[in-house]
Amino acid sequence: MKQGWIKRTLPRSLYGRAALILIVPIVTIQLVVSVQFIQRHFEGVTKQMSRNMAREVSFIVDQIDAAPSLPLALQDLTPALSALAIEVAPTDQATGPDRRSPIDLSGRFVISNLYAQLPQLVSVDLRGDTPWYEVAKQLRLHLKTRHGDVEVAFERVRVSASNPHQLLVLMIFASILMTVIAFIFLRNQLRPIRRLARAAEAFGKGQSVPYRISGANEVRAAGSAFLNMRGRIERQIEQRTMMLSGVSHDLRTPLTRMRLSLSLMEETPETEELNRDVKDMERMLDGFLDFARSETLDDPEPTDPAALLRGVADKAVRSGGVVTLGVLPDGVSVPLRAVAIERAVQNLVNNALNYGASCHLSLDVSDKMIRFSVEDDGPGIPADQREAAVKAFNRLDQSRNQNRAPGVGLGLAIASEIARSHGGVLRLGDSGDLGGLKAELVLAR
């Protein structure tokens, strides 16, 4: 429970988590180095430089105090002031507060060090006439002497480093450059994983996209395992299809001979019963073939799902069924295996008309899915038996009338297999409008 918020805030993708693992150490190292650098540079170096400058200013103040007057002191100090690059002038300005720019990080250390070294210091001006976002190039000190107040001015670079930000800028630039290089390398390492994920997702939707093994050894091992698995599944599907097709084809020959023999015999109740049995067996064989074809992996083609649904409805109406259509979206084209989808929807419509008097068809298309809905006014299927209803060769005689709709229990199974091969699912529920069964064929886009 305590770590739940951590899991919720962490990135969900592998790329995001790898980027986080990469960025956090870099930012942490930058912060540690920056803090140590600022402490060493601003406190240590600034303290040493300001202490040296305070000694020169203290020497000048002592010379002024020892002279008989301020003009004579300044006259005697002219060579020394020129050599030290220091300006000294009398001042009668009122004493003001210390001034420094908000961005002047080392200014605080300069002021505190100068006050500690110069007892005569009254105020420090580190700003001058410059705006708040700039650091003044000249420093002015207001000092008291025996002959009155004086203002001492010298270059700011003499009490603090001229470019204290260079190391930080260089470090940040190098960190950004290395981070970009690391991101490029990371993207190249994750690209094979994404390709493997796309190939696995496409295979789950019934598409066999080309996939080439690449990347690190672990990714290559996973890719090789995926290709082996895909090959075994495809071979299993092909063998299953060939077996069912072969059995169905071989059984049609004796059935044809039986039908021919029955047609030459005199019509009696026994021959009529035998004819019905032969027709039931042919229906079963057709169901076997449809079930076998439902797992063939044809290439998807751009298809208008609304036109497909209208075609299924027209076939059902021509066969004498009562079918109504909802509002269908026009102008939509999505990649589908049209023959398989039409077979699945046709099975759902046939089931609806076999077990009910009428059915209603509707279509819903979004960015991520396509949903074909078939509702009927029949007896429906109990909720606890819907999972078993989509299994092959399973008939629910308790809720559906077998005499009215003979078969082998493959209609819903075929629709479910086709939905699965498109990365979707077949959902069974209750029809709110007609009161019977509502079958939804949901396909991923």
- The CATH number of the domain holding residue 119 is 3.30.450.300
Q: What is the pLDDT of residue 292?
A: 60
Give the CATH number of the domain where residue 222 resides.
1.10.287.130
pTM metric for this prediction? 0.49
Rounded CA-CA distance 325/432 in Å is 16
Instruction: State how far the alpha carbon of 60 is from the alpha carbons of 89, 174, 240, 415, in Å.
Output: 12, 45, 105, 101
Domain housing 433 = 298-444
pLDDT at 313 over 50: yes
Query: Looking at residues 185-204, what average pLDDT do you find?
Result: 83
pLDDT in tens, 100-125: 888 777 788 888 889 988 999 999 98
369 and 231 in a common domain: no
Q: What Cα–Cα distance (Å) separates residue 270 from each residue in 160, 196, 275, 277, 282?
A: 116, 61, 9, 11, 19
Give SS3 for 162. Answer: coil
What are 301's strand-pairing partners?
336
Angle at 160 between CA 157 and CA 162, to 5 degrees: 50
Q: What does residue 436 show for φ and ψ, rounded to 5 degrees?
A: -105, -140
Same domain, 11 and 152: yes
| pLDDT tier at 360, thresholds 50, 70, 90 | very high
Angle between helices 217-264 and 269-293 (to 10 degrees): 160
* Average pLDDT, rounded, for the chain: 80
Task: Tell me what pLDDT residue 405 has.
Answer: 47
Q: How confident is the model at residue 206 (pLDDT cuts 50, 70, 90)?
A: low
- The pLDDT, as a whole number, for residue 168 is 67
Is a pLDDT exceeding 60 seen at residue 171? yes
Using an 8 Å Cβ cutoff, are 224 and 211 in contact?
no
Q: pLDDT-based confidence at 434, cuts 50/70/90?
A: confident
pLDDT score, position 373: 92
Q: What span, in angstroms and rounded, lies between the C-alpha atoms of 28 and 232?
A: 49
Question: Of 133, 158, 183, which residue is a domain's last?
Answer: 158
For residue 360, the cross-strand partners are 324, 375
In this structure, the answer to whether residues 415 and 280 fall within a common structural domain is no
- Give the pLDDT score at 60: 92
Compute the distance between CA of residue 196 and CA of residue 199 in angstroms, rounded to an integer: 5
> Is 175 part of a structural domain of the chain?
no
Residue 372 CB-half CA count within 13 A: 29
- 164 assigned to some structural domain: no
User: How large a percentage of the chain has pLDDT more than 70?
Assistant: 85
